[in-house]
Amino acid sequence: MALMAAVAVVAGCANERVSDAALHAGNLEAHPAVSDKSQGGSDLPLDEAVSRRVAEAELVAKVRITGVHRMIDHALSEPGMMAILGYVYSGVAEKVWKGESARLLAFRLTLDDCEEKLREGKQYLIFASVDTEGRLQLTSCEAAVADGEAENLLVQLDRYLQG
């Protein structure tokens, strides 16, 4: 409910946009104005870019990566050489702001969507969607924000969403 109120508040601030690069880097400035104290928030609504990311995601969670597994395209692979499509990451959900998730989860990230490989043992704030086969997936590099770069995002999510 607080998310819906925050999204409505942010919709009124459409002329102030924050780039996806700023979102990924966690360099966000919240829009001043309307109070959402009735929903447990503070005087500042969710940043527009964060609100959009949350609205588009099926799962928003802080995850510690426990395993990295290759997605192999056997049709393109040749003897002695594997064609890697991307990676399937297994992890432990340390906090979930949106979506239903067991403590252990897995999600995919293809090389077409992001050439960066997430690192085992590191924490990431992820914005995941569900693919046509019901699997969690990230659709861009910006959908996985490294813990050290996510401080402002985490503060906003804690302030406005129950987690």
Q: Please give the pLDDT value at position 49.
A: 81
What residue ranges do the domains of the chain occupy?
2-56, 59-149
The 10 Å Cβ neighbour count of residue 140 is 12
Q: For residue 26, what pLDDT band results from cuts at 50, 70 and 90?
A: very low
Tokens 């290759």 label which residue?
Answer: 70
Per-residue pLDDT reduced to its tens digit, 48-93: 888 889 999 999 999 999 999 999 999 999 999 999 999 999 999 9
Per-residue pLDDT reduced to its tens digit, 100-144: 877 899 999 999 999 999 999 999 999 999 999 999 999 999 999
First-to-last alpha carbon distance for the chain, in angstroms, is 13
At 149 the three-state DSSP class reads helix
| CATH code for the domain defined by 59-149 | 2.40.50.120
pTM: 0.70
